[in-house]
Amino acid sequence: MSAITVSHLTKKFGDLTAVDDVSLAIEEGELFALLGMNGAGKTTTIKMLSCLIFPTQGDAVLLGDSIRKDPIAIKQKSNVSPQETAVAPNLSVLENLSLMAGIYGQDKDSAQSSARDMSSRFGLNGVLNKSAKKLSGGMQRRLSIAMALISDPEILFLDEPTLGLDVLARRELWSSIKQLKGKVTIILTTHYLEEVEALSDRVGIMNNGKLVAVGTTAELVTQAGTENFEDAFVSLSGGEL
Amino acid sequence: MKTILFAGRNTKEILRDPISFFFGLGFPLILLLLFNIINSAIPAEAQNTMFEIESIGPGVAVFGTIFLALFSGMLISKDRTTSFLMRLFASPMQSFDFIFGYTLPMIVMAAVQALFTFIVAAVLGLPLTINTALAILVLLPIAILFTGIGLLCGSILNEKAVGGICGALLTNVAAWLSGAWIPLDLIGGAFKKTAEVLPFYHAVQATKAAVLGNFSGIMPHLSIVLIYTVVFYMLAVIVFRGKMKSDKV
């Protein structure tokens, strides 16, 4: 069953068409990676699907609710981990997590309990009372994703979740994301091709706002007639091999 | 519930920033002590009442509220630039949760700040009476005015610009044009006329009238402050709500 059905989604900023007539269906529990060069339209697509910005044309239905007609219903059952770490810097890890749980409707006790559970899941127990601004980049990323998951979303948007992380921190985060597969529908944007290969069920390649190819990494390699996924991405993105 | 949670978060963010804490509470008290030292150094035969505690106390209390523009502006601007606000915009929070969540801590902080200022002023000779409570009430719309200015600036400017406008510029312009340090009559001319058009002078006069128990003297000045408060706060709400719906958070 489709968790997300996107129909002719378009976003224009003045004369610039950032997202151009994108149509797509994503299954429940699927991890779908959106791949593309800078300015390809990945973040704009995520912003429309998470009801942060309104589409110029088209619509998307997330678990039965339209982004045009029912943004509040969608916001209640989805969550976002933005490109930046987006944490409250002077609040502790526990306070950041409790705050987000409370905002999504949990009472004080449940919020505290969820915050502790989420800290365990993301290896944040050792820094529970440390202020977010004092955490390393990797820990802040983990906290950011934990904050997105504490509301127990059915759909999760991860916008470049491992941007700027070292190899070790990235691998740790991959492991956390892998644990969510099958339970949460995830749309992930990234520039790292190895991340796509390691995590995604299917990949959508965007170029100049258009969704130019969709499939598994193996399908895309076959479609492009290349030897590996990197070459397939370059070829399908309109680049030269 | 969401409003209170968000207001709690904002209070912690500001109070855990040592610079905000110093400017919010410490600086007005230092000014009060400084002016008291200056006043003590003025010989009685000079008959200069400029720095007497009845005059300076309410002025410093109003001056303290100016920093609320800096605190609220910096907080919102920081929330925007770090994408924390984007995360919250993607949550089920409504526009009033944000607006009241940013405003409530400022009102509480203004009341606490004013209370401390008047307690120190009492130590320095300003009687602590029921009029003090009235003065704190008079300060609240003034606090909302500066919070509105901060909300407005924070919604459209980056941290650096907010620091410049709400910090350096507004604190200086508002302080000098308020007549809190130097009576406007001493300068007169265009300076006095400009000050009388703006809300800062009226804020000090309304607070001073409340402290002195001159009840009929409050509203003529406070009504001008209220007009500015409504205009700036409404403008801030419109701009913030526009930001929520805009393509660029």
Chain segment B212-222, per-residue pLDDT in tens? 999 999 999 99
The share of chain B scoring above pLDDT 90, in percent, equals: 72
Contacts of A90 in chain B (CB under 8 A): 12-13, 16-17
Q: How confident is the model at residue B23 (pLDDT cuts 50, 70, 90)?
A: confident
- Which of B48, B68, B73 lies closest to B141, judged by CA? B68
Does the pLDDT at position B236 exceed 90? Answer: yes
Give A123's pLDDT tier (boundaries 50, 70, 90). Answer: confident
Between CA A12 and CA B67 the distance in angstroms is 40
Beta-bridged to residue A2, according to DSSP, are A27
Q: At what angle do helices B130-156 and B218-245 cross, to 10 degrees?
A: 30
ipTM entry: 0.89
Highest mean pLDDT among A152-166, B10-24, B30-44, B124-138: B124-138
Q: Most A CBs within 10 Å: which of B17, B81, B83, B98, as the mutation test of the A interface?
A: B83
Confidence of residue B157 (pLDDT cuts 50, 70, 90): very high
Q: What is the Cα–Cα distance from B166 to B164, expressed in whole angstroms?
A: 6
pLDDT for residue A229? 93
* Mean per-residue pLDDT, B164-178: 91
Picking from B12, B83, B86, the nearest residue to A90 by CB comes out as B12
Report the gap between the CA of B60 and the closest CA in chain A (Å): 29
8 Å CB contact between B197 and B221: no
Average pLDDT, chain A: 92
Q: Within chain A, how many helices (H) and strands (E) appear?
A: 9, 10
**A88 touches B at CB < 8 Å:** yes
Confidence bin at A45 (pLDDT 50/70/90): very high
- The per-residue b/e assignment along B101-123, b for 16 or more CB within 10 angstroms, e otherwise, is bbbbbbbebbeebbbbbbebbee
Which residues of chain B lie closer than 8 angstroms to A104, CB-CB? 91-92
Cα-based distances in Å from B26 to A173, B61, B71, B143: 43, 12, 14, 17
Please give the pLDDT value at position A60: 97
B247 band by pLDDT with thresholds 50, 70 and 90 = low
Beta strands in chain A (DSSP E): 2-13, 16-27, 31-36, 57-62, 65-66, 78-81, 155-159, 185-190, 202-207, 210-215
> Which of A49, A50, A52, A93 would you mutate first to test chain B, the one with the most B CBs within 10 A?
A52
| pLDDT value of position B244 | 84
Average pLDDT in the A141-157 region?
93
- What is the average pLDDT across A2-10? 96
Above 80 in pLDDT, residue A11?
yes
Residue A49 three-state SS = helix
- Answer yes or no: is pLDDT of B51 > 90: no
Edge-to-edge, what's the strand order for the sheet holding A65-66?
Answer: A16-27, A2-13, A57-62, A65-66
Locate the chain B residue with the closest alpha carbon to A147: B87
Q: How far is CA B86 from CA A84, B76, B91, in A?
A: 10, 11, 9
Burial class (CB in 10 A: 0-12, 13-18, 19+), A225: exposed
* Percent of the residues in chain B that have a pLDDT greater than 70, as a whole number: 99
Is B84–A88 a contact, with Cβ atoms under 8 angstroms apart?
Answer: yes
Q: Where are the alpha helices (DSSP H) in B91-198?
A: 95-123, 130-156, 159-162, 170-177, 184-187, 189-197
Mean pLDDT of chain B: 92
pLDDT band at A203 (very low <50, low <70, confident <90, very high): very high
A194 has pLDDT over 80: yes
Contact A79 B90 (CB under 8 A): yes
pLDDT at position B48 is 78
Mean pLDDT across the stretch A161-172?
82
Q: What is the structure's pLDDT at B122?
A: 94
pLDDT at A220 over 80: yes
Average of pLDDT values for B49-59?
Answer: 87
pLDDT, position A241: 66
B9 contact residues in A (CB cutoff 8 A):
88, 91, 95, 99
Does A111 score more than 90 pLDDT? yes
| Chain A / chain B CB contacts < 8 angstroms | 76
